Amino acid sequence: MTAWTPPPYADPAAFTERDITLDPDGRTVPGTLTLPKEPTGRGVVLLTGGGPWDRDETSGPNKPLKDLAWGLATHGIAVLRFDKVTANRPEAMAAPGYTMTSEYVPHGIAAVRLLAEHVDRVFLVGHSMGGKIAPKIATEEPLVAGVVIMAGDTQPMQHAAVRVMRYLASSSPEAVPPETIAVFERQALAADTVTANTPSSDLPFGMPASFWLDQRDYDPVATAAKLDVPILVLQGGRDYQITVADDLPAWREGLPDATITVLDEDNHLFFPGTGPSTMADYQIPGHLDPAVVTVITDWLP
């Protein structure tokens, strides 16, 4: 496998890194604190997307959140990123009681409080599901000075999964046969009417009923709209998972005062390219669009 290399917009001489741990509720996870040598007093906590991601959101040869951390630190912005509690225990995502809230919120709050010991203002930068949950963390932790939502989903997750499967079937029929779509359609209907007793085998991704009940009870747009902090929404124009057509309109309508930026050439990882995006794109070595670093750096108050 091709080894990750620093993006051209990052200067490793401009910052230092050290290991940290977060230990809310006795659930310890490792992380990395990146401190610029010429600090601006601003810092961000990075939140990875849905799934058992490490702190860099490693995807094949790529590390989009490490790209982002190093790019921001080059501009004087401190960064704290951490492995999700499920990163080394993906089986926990199928365990009874598992929820998005319990996976993200305690560690997100702990990360904000730790970073606040080093900077004047702490911001959340969440990608995908991390962007979706960021407003909830900001609601529960008053130290959060602002929120950046990168490709945050607003559609019900079970219906988005069906849409994504249909897209992949149209672009890669050999990878997604019709029977797979039929399974996701049945599971989406089960998630729509989920109860505490619904078997996980009937639900999308084999996740337990607790996860889908938590999803049903959480509205990321309404939660974000109640925040009294600045919000930046970033969206990739070539993203087929979280899309301009299906997810972005709810952010536009619900957050009229937010700054919203669409990067037309970017896929879900915010890697630039051309043509329709596919699953294979994620295995091609590349780097986070430098425009993401610029937009966030310029926006941070």
Pair 285, 186: CB distance under 8 Å: no
Annotation marks residue 214 as catalytic: no
Ramachandran area for residue 84 (φ above 0: left; ψ -120 to 50: alpha; else beta):
beta
Nearest to 19 by CA among 3, 33, 38, 6: 33
Say how many C-beta atoms besides its own lie within 10 A of residue 20's C-beta.
Answer: 17
Annotated domain spans of the chain: 12-155+219-299
Residue tagged active-site, from 75, 107, 127, 268: 268
Residue tagged active-site, from 128, 200, 210, 277: 128
Nearest to 45 by CA among 102, 115, 145: 115
Architecture of domain 12-155+219-299: 3-Layer(aba) Sandwich (3.40)
Annotation marks residue 239 as catalytic: yes
Nearest to 82 by CA among 122, 119, 47: 47
Burial class (CB in 10 A: 0-12, 13-18, 19+), 148: buried
Q: What is the 3-state secondary structure (H, E, C) of the chain?
A: CCCCCCCCCCCHHHEEEEEEEECHHHCCEEEEEEEECCCCCEEEEEECCCCCCCCCCCECCECHHHHHHHHHHHCCCEEEEECCCCCCCHHHHHCCCCCHHHHHHHHHHHHHHHHCCCCCEEEEEEECHHHHHHHHHHHHCCCEEEEEEECCCCCCHHHHHHHHHHHHHHHCCCCCCHHHHHHHHHHHHHHHCCCCCCCHHHCHHHCCHHHHHHHHCCCHHHHHHCCCCCEEEEEECCCCCCCCCCCHHHHHHHCCCCEEEEECCECCCCCECCCCCCHHHHHCCCCCCHHHHHHHHHHCC
Annotation marks residue 128 as catalytic: yes
Alpha carbons 187 and 42: distance in angstroms, whole number: 43
Q: From first to last of the 301 residues of the chain, give the pLDDT tens digit.
A: 688 999 999 999 999 999 999 999 889 999 999 999 999 999 999 999 999 999 999 999 999 999 999 999 999 999 999 999 999 888 989 899 999 999 999 999 999 999 999 999 999 999 999 999 999 999 999 999 999 999 999 999 999 999 999 999 988 777 788 899 999 999 999 999 999 999 999 999 999 999 999 999 999 999 999 999 999 999 999 999 999 999 999 999 999 999 999 999 999 999 999 999 988 889 999 999 999 999 999 999 9
Residue tagged active-site, from 83, 153, 214, 239: 239
